[in-house]
Amino acid sequence: MLHPGSGRLDDPETSPYAVIEASNRAYLNAFKRNARLMMLLEQVATLDPNFRALRRRRGEAFVQRNARGIANLQARGLVDTELDAYQSASALSAMVSFTAYYTYCVAEEDTPVEDLVRTCTRLWANALGLAPEARGR
């Protein structure tokens, strides 16, 4: 669950939009498969400092990876360069994580992963100001 897999930003054949989409799909599929474990981890993290630290490290790994990807897109002029890459990654990662948690743990909905992938990916792209030429879907 820590590294569910994603596309590569440096692959010239893959559009940044497709990479964001693949990353969201991998995360959401892994979360759905492990929803009961994720619910337990969240519950225990509120009570146990060791689990809380584990949860924080897990989240930070995703944020750091996403921040590197956003900085890469900024360096290439494909997204808003005035955004702070780390803060943007933190906010967008939290959005996807909480969407997964709420959908599959709190509401216990059977929402198809692809519905969440479509929504979360579009929100990511719009929030970053992803240039139309980088969407190449």
Residue 137 belongs to a domain: no
Q: How far is CA 118 from CA 62, 109, 124, in A?
A: 20, 17, 10
Residue 106 belongs to a domain: yes
Q: 36: exposed, middle or buried (C-beta count within 10 Å: 0-12, 13-18, 19+)?
A: exposed
Tell the residue number behind the tokens 């890459």, with chain if given: 85
Residue 84 belongs to a domain: yes
pLDDT band at 10 (very low <50, low <70, confident <90, very high): low
pLDDT in tens, 45-96: 999 999 899 889 989 999 999 999 999 999 999 999 999 999 999 999 999 9
Residue 8 belongs to a domain: no
Q: Residue 102: which domain range?
A: 16-132
Number of domains the chain is built from: 1
Name which of 2-6, 44-48, 95-99 the model is least confident about: 2-6
Residue 24 belongs to a domain: yes
CATH code, 36: 1.10.357.10
DSSP letter for each residue of the chain: --------TT-TTS-HHHHHHHHHHHHHHHHHHTHHHHHHHHHHHTT-HHHHHHHHHHHHHHHHHHHHHHHHHHHTTSS-TTS-HHHHHHHHHHHHHHHHHIIIIIS-----HHHHHHHHHHHHHHHHT--GGGT--
Contact 16, 72 (CB under 8 A): no
The pTM of the full predicted model, rounded to 2 decimals, is: 0.86
Asked if residue 2 has pLDDT above 60, the reply is: no
Residue 9 belongs to a domain: no
Residue 108 belongs to a domain: yes
Give pLDDT, residue 5. Answer: 52
For residues 120 and 62, give the distance between their C-alpha atoms in angstroms, rounded to a whole number: 15
Q: Mean of the pLDDT values across residues 32-39?
A: 94
Residue 10 belongs to a domain: no
Give pLDDT, residue 70. Answer: 97
